[in-house]
């Protein structure tokens, strides 16, 4: 196979987490008597970590202290409800099984808080991943390449045989910054037109297209 280390983004790539992210966002906003956001708005807010999600969700004139309180409320709720409506995209479990059977190493690198990454990876993909990394203290989040490179070192992966799969411009930039190939996931939160506009060279319309692009 051309690529033997396959690293995925999580939200909008392996899992459709949008409903639970929107519910947690609106719980946190309501707790502080701030205006609610639609699911489509939240779709555009995600991808750069929870702090950035909350910064985008609150009104523009929200004081920093209140933003931090909303952030804390989000985390309190999401830790208990991160999988209420979340599910893998069609074909994801089968793809991971196919990759494992072919001897590929598989991992997640996400800007989601690490507690969420670990919980969801265990719930939905237990035994199907070699590593998973979310946003945490001490390592720069995407689009900095640090998390992706750290996972590659952990897996002893070479750039030429590693590919990153994600649904956003942040993912495209992360792969570029790490010096690895990238597949844009058109089924995710941004869509084909957005990914093409941001320079995606490889695109998968559906999860089932991934295998042909990496083998």
Catalytic residues: 9
Q: Please state at what angle helix 50-57 crosses helix 18-31, rounded to 10 degrees.
A: 60
Q: Is 183 in a helix, a strand, or coil?
A: strand
DSSP-derived 3-state class of residue 66 = helix
Task: Describe the chain by its helix, strand, coil percentages, rounded to 5.
Answer: 50, 15, 35
CB 170 within 8 A of CB 143: yes
CA–CA gap between residue 107 and residue 110 (Å, rounded): 10
């Amino acid at each position: 196979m051309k690529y033997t280390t396959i690293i995925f983004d999580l939200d909008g790539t392996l899992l459709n987490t949008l409903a639970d992210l929107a519910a947690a966002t609106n719980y946190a906003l309501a707790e502080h008597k701030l205006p609610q956001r639609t699911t489509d708005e939240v779709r555009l807010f995600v991808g750069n970590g929870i702090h950035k999600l909350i910064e985008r969700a609150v009104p523009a004139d929200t004081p920093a202290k209140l933003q931090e309180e909303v952030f804390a409320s989000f985390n309190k709720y999401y830790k208990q409800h991160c999988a209420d409506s979340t599910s893998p995209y069609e074909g994801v479990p089968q793809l991971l099984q196919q990759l494992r059977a072919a001897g590929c190493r598989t991992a997640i690198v996400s800007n989601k808080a690490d507690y969420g990454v670990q919980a969801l990876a265990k719930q939905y993909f237990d035994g199907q991943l070699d590593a998973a990394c979310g946003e945490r203290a001490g390592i720069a989040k995407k689009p900095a390449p640090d998390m992706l490179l750290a996972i590659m070192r952990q897996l002893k992966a070479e750039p030429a045989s590693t590919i990153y799969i994600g649904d956003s411009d942040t993912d495209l930039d992360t792969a570029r910054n790490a010096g690895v190939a990238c597949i844009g996931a058109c089924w995710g939160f941004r869509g084909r037109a957005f990914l093409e506009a941001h320079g995606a060279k490889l695109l998968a319309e559906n999860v089932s297209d991934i295998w042909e692009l990496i083998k």
